[in-house]
Amino acid sequence: MINVTKTYLPNKKKYKSYVDKIYESGWVTNDGFLVRELTERLEDYLNVRNLVLVSNGTSALEVAYRVLELEGDVITTPFSFVATTSSLVSNGLNPIFADIDISSFNLCPENVSRTNTGKESAILATHVFGVACDIDALQRQASKRRLKVIYDAAHCFGVKYRGKSILSYGDVSVISFHATKLFHTIEGGAIILNHDNLVEETKFKINFGIDGVDSVKSLGINAKMNEFEAAMGLCVLDDIELILEERQEIADFYFTELNDYVSFQGKSPLSNSNNSYFPVLFENKKICETVLCGLNREDIFPRRYFAPSLDTLPYISGGQFMSVSRDISSRVMALPIYPGLAKEDQIRIVNQVKKCLVKNEKN
């Protein structure tokens, strides 16, 4: 069975040697030595400052909202993983959707400019599938309207924008290190702050707001990464160049083979691609479903990333209808891409996609 992704498991011996160290020290969580080591190595590799490791990408978003003191409405994208929207709602914030750009699938700055509830405090944009948003235009909007900017950069490990890590943009960027992501710590994530003065507060807020033995400074949550997760991250980071290379090779192959058959997501000219996903777009929903069924019959399981469009969620109040996002959601699919995906499987995947498309044409 081939799924859309497969968790990268590094050398077992190496992981065990970290586990031995954890046992020797007896320190398993709460800002342990491996969490500190991984923080330093990630800041170094990604070339960012103010990176705070957390328990997952969703808690990274939640802590970011608290640290930036968001309130009221947040302008956001309807085309992302459900956590982008659900985290707002669970923190008492109201998602106001602006529709996406039909080429990049990212939040469209012009649509952002049309939102006007009078209660907006921030823009929350996802660099979806690792493709950069129009950062300059979003920042201009935010500056003009005094809005904070948060980037859900869950898919962006290793992506650069204008030669700098994409994680260094916005007031805050957050990333997920879930097992299904390109770089992972089993469960985990990080908050990257563009304001030095917010780092200390963030560290309190991921640990219940505690700032001393008998002292609680502010309202926080539990969002700490543990040592076993940090150890996984250290091992995966050792192999990151190989991971990126293999993904690039698979993406190149898919691109060459399928170029005449499907459409692709538009890339940003200011940015590189990490191939964290390989989304393909079909002409309509019916064709998309035909291909999906055809692949499933071969035991291949791509995912309909991202369906449903987030403006259709049951906890979103009516009246928000994002037609571009709904359209893209209905006919996009992410093909399997991960290190270790055998060449013969890649060939099987593209052949099956082509076969379904040709058959569809004949019908």
In the complex, the residues that contact ligand PLP under the rule CB under 6 A are 56-58, 80-81, 83-84, 126, 152, 154-155, 176, 178, 189
Of all residues in this chain, which one has the CB nearest to ligand PLP in the complex? Answer: 57
Distance CA 242, CA 328 (A): 32
Instruction: Name the 3-class secondary structure at 41.
Output: helix
How far apart are CB 82 and ligand PLP at their closest, in Å? Answer: 8
Q: Which residue lies nearer to ligand PLP by CB, 229 or 346?
A: 229
* DSSP string across 267-329: PPTTB----S-EEEE-SSHHHHHHHHHHHHHTTEE-B-TT-S-GGG-TTS-SS---HHHHHHH
Q: Which residue lies nearer to ligand PLP by CB, 99 or 187?
A: 187
How far apart are CB 11 and ligand PLP at their closest, in Å? Answer: 24
How far apart are CB 307 and ligand PLP at their closest, in Å? Answer: 13
Residues composing the chain: 363
Alpha helices per DSSP H over the chain: 12-25, 33-46, 57-67, 82-90, 109-114, 135-145, 199-205, 227-238, 240-258, 285-297, 323-331, 343-362
Q: Which residue lies nearer to ligand PLP by CB, 225 or 258?
A: 225
How far apart are CB 16 and ligand PLP at their closest, in Å? Answer: 25
Q: Which residue lies nearer to ligand PLP by CB, 168 or 276?
A: 276
Instruction: Name the 3-class secondary structure at 160.
Output: strand
| Nearest Cα to Cα of residue 172 among 86, 48, 306, 77 | 48
How far apart are CB 24 and ligand PLP at their closest, in Å? Answer: 29
Q: Which residue lies nearer to ligand PLP by CB, 150 or 353?
A: 150
